[in-house]
Amino acid sequence: MASPLSLSLLCHHPIFFFCFSLLFSTLLLASFSHAVASQCKNQPIIFNFGDSNSDTGGLASGLGFPINLPNGRSFFRRSTGRLSDGRLLIDFLCQSLNASYLSPYLDSLGGSKFANGANFAVVGSSTLPKYLPFSLNIQIMQFLHFKARSLELVNAGSRNLINEEGFRNALYIIDIGQNDIADSFDKNLSYVQVTKRIPSIITEIKNAVKTLYNQGGRKFWIHNTGPLGCLPQKLWLVQKKDLDPHGCLSSYNSAALLFNEALRLLCQELRSELADSTVVYVDIYAIKYDLIANSSKYGFSSPLMACCGSGGPPYNYNIRVTCGQPGYQVCNEGSRFLSWDGIHYTEAANSIIASRVLSTAYSSPRTTFDFFCRS
Ligand SMILES: *[C@@H]1O[C@H](CO)[C@@H](O)[C@H](O)[C@H]1NC(C)=O
Ligand SMILES: *[C@@H]1O[C@H](CO)[C@@H](O)[C@H](O)[C@H]1NC(C)=O
Ligand SMILES: *[C@@H]1O[C@H](CO)[C@@H](O)[C@H](O)[C@H]1NC(C)=O
């Protein structure tokens, strides 16, 4: 099962991180304590599907792939399997509801708790190929198994597991697509060839939402994909660079924007097709691109350089010596970087991204994140 998910695949996979300042994060935590006073009437239950942007330990538990310090250094003070120095967007979203962080579905140890949902996201995942672990389709199949097994155990008297009503009222989050687009470019497909693959990626996401809907799910929260062409890893990898005014790869960002437009239209279509559903589309691209374009306003100095990597400026990225591999260099704790490892964002960036998501300004329709547990 594990063999197709080769390490080289992992190495090419988009993951973003940013380094962060303690002072700033303290301020953000203070602002989060307002969000924490959420209006949940029901206990919030969340199921998340996606890639490294929201993997809270799935790769480490699923494949035993070691993810070591300095990952986790700023918040958890140990590696948790997240590709960041600290919390991810999904963690901040859970925190805003005063809910526990989501346990990775594949974490089989007794400490894992699934009363508040489960996280199916795994580093490197894409929608296609459909049957390669851990594609979106496979994550959905895992969810079907999880649901059937939970109900079986609940019926046999287990507590602290999710019942039928819990599954119906849960929020279903999908954050995937970045690797589909990135992989296409990595295979040397032309821009036109890359964009031709978008409809089949969208079909996979549509199938996923419909399957969840047919299972009784009604509340969906769908993140679009970020500006792929601003990742230090991509900037380092691509030889012939067509840079935009902010120093990002234009073709990569254009492909991401085309995907996002198709995803936005899909959400619109699903809203009318799926009776009684709420499908919220969140413009993560706009949030991240603003952070990069206006980085100095947010106190970040080198938005296209990884905190943890090798090679120094301009990108501090080298695929042969990535973050955590022998020879890597990491920025000082407290210095402000947007990118953690050239693919994934830092906790400092993620906390800003989360506050933007929670503002509702980037959501269509404009919906508070706690909408699913309010009534
Ligand atoms: C958050 O959860 C904890 C433990 O479940 C509870 O004691 C606390 O009152 C909650 N806080 C808010 C603001 O809901
Ligand atoms: C893509 O093209 C580059 C440069 O022409 C080459 O070095 C690389 O091996 C190619 N990759 C694949 C997967 O064909
Ligand atoms: C940068 O900030 C300005 C002023 O707030 C805003 O108008 C602009 O849209 C931002 N740039 C991006 C790329 O979001």
Q: Which ligand ends up closest to the CA of 289?
A: 3
pLDDT at position 330 is: 98
Helix (H, G, I), strand (E, B) or coil at 14: coil
pLDDT at position 121 is: 98
Protein residue whose Cα sits closest to atom 8 of ligand 2: 188
The b-or-e profile of 323-350 (16+ CB within 10 A means b, else e) is: bbeeebebbeeebbbbbbbbbbbbbbbb
In the chain, what are the domains? 41-290+350-358 (3.40.50.1110)
pLDDT at position 37 is: 55
DSSP 258-298: HHHHHHHHHHHHHHHHSTT-EEEEE-HHHHHHHHHHTGGGG
Question: In this structure, are residues 370 and 39 in contact, taking their beta carbons and an 8 Å threshold?
Answer: yes
Q: Ligand 1 test: best mutation among 39, 41, 96, 98, most atoms within 8 Å of CB?
A: 98
pTM: 0.90
User: What are the average pLDDT values for consecutive 10-residue runs of the chain, which has 375 residues?
Assistant: 36 35 41 57 96 97 95 97 98 97 92 91 98 97 98 95 97 98 97 98 98 98 98 96 97 98 98 98 98 98 97 97 97 96 98 98 98 93
How far is Cα 181 from Cα 223, in angstroms, rounded to an integer?
A: 15
Ligand 2 atom nearest to 188, measured from its CA:
1
Q: What is the CA 137 to chain-centroid distance, rounded? A: 16
Question: In this structure, are residues 126 and 194 in contact, taking their beta carbons and an 8 Å threshold?
Answer: no
Q: Ligand 3 test: best mutation among 287, 290, 296, 353, most atoms within 8 Å of CB?
A: 290
- According to DSSP, the residues that pair with 345 across neighbouring strands are 17, 339
- Does the C-beta of 187 come closer than 6 Å to ligand 2? yes
Residues that are catalytic: 52, 341, 344
Q: Which residues contact 34 (CB under 8 A, 6 or more apart)?
A: none
- Does the C-beta of 37 come closer than 6 Å to ligand 1? yes
